[in-house]
Amino acid sequence: MNKTLLLLAAALPAFAQQTFDFNTLDKLGVKAKESTNITLDGDTLKLAGNFLNNDNASLKPVVDNLKGVYVRSYEFEKEGQYADADLEPLRAYIKTLQWTKIVDVKEDKETSEIYVKPLLNNRLGGLAIIDAEPKEVNVIYITGDLSTSDLAKLGGNFGIPDMKFLHDDKKSGKKPTDKR
């Protein structure tokens, strides 16, 4: 009985991973003046990967290992046009996945959170960013098998800053920033 419960508890994160509906975040952008909704699952990512041209062919192996890319980005005319509470289901969901929160910055009315799913051998199973500002909300959720060099590769092509600062902090045993 105990073993069954343990197995169920272990399987819960994987189950939860498949059940979050990112469309629930769409209500965040009801009053947005500009919005970007991107949902790319594994098959679509593979399709996109096949069309990466010479300029970004080096991204292909990275993209091939991704399972999902979800982006919700909203800009508002005025402050208070979205409810921070609408982000709570996502935060709760990420909590069930037991990802590591590596960045948690709160300044004035802005919050930035970055979560990663650490795997063995310096690999990551996913990356989530929740950035909430008075007139802007950004949610990024990427799953798949990523190495730190993959992230560096992304940085090479898109100017994504290298994630070294994250690993330096991990190595030193310090939390990068935790103002909450």
Partner 1 sequence: MNFEDDLREALRHEPAPPDFAAKVLARTSHRPPIRRAAVLALVAALAIAAIIPSAAHQYRERQRALEAKDQLMAALAITRTQLQQAKEKIRRNTRSKI
* Chain contacts with partner 1 (rule: CB under 8 A): 36, 38, 40, 44-45, 47-48, 50-52, 56, 63, 69, 71, 73, 103, 105, 107, 110, 112, 114, 127, 129, 131, 138, 140, 142, 154-155, 157-161, 163, 165, 176-177, 179
Among candidate residues 130, 123, 136, 1, the one with its CA nearest the CA of residue 82: 136
Q: Kindly tell me which of 43 and 120 has the beta carbon lying closer to partner 1.
A: 43
Check if the beta carbon of residue 71 is closer than 8 Å to that of residue 37: yes
- Min dist. Cβ of residue 121 to partner 1 (A): 22
Q: Kindly tell me which of 149 and 157 has the beta carbon lying closer to partner 1.
A: 157
Kindly list the distances between the CA atom of residue 136 and the CA atoms of 79, 94, 109, in Å, as whole numbers in the listed order.
9, 21, 11
Using CA atoms, how far apart are residues 16 and 9, in angstroms rounded to an integer? 11
- Min dist. Cβ of residue 114 to partner 1 (A): 6
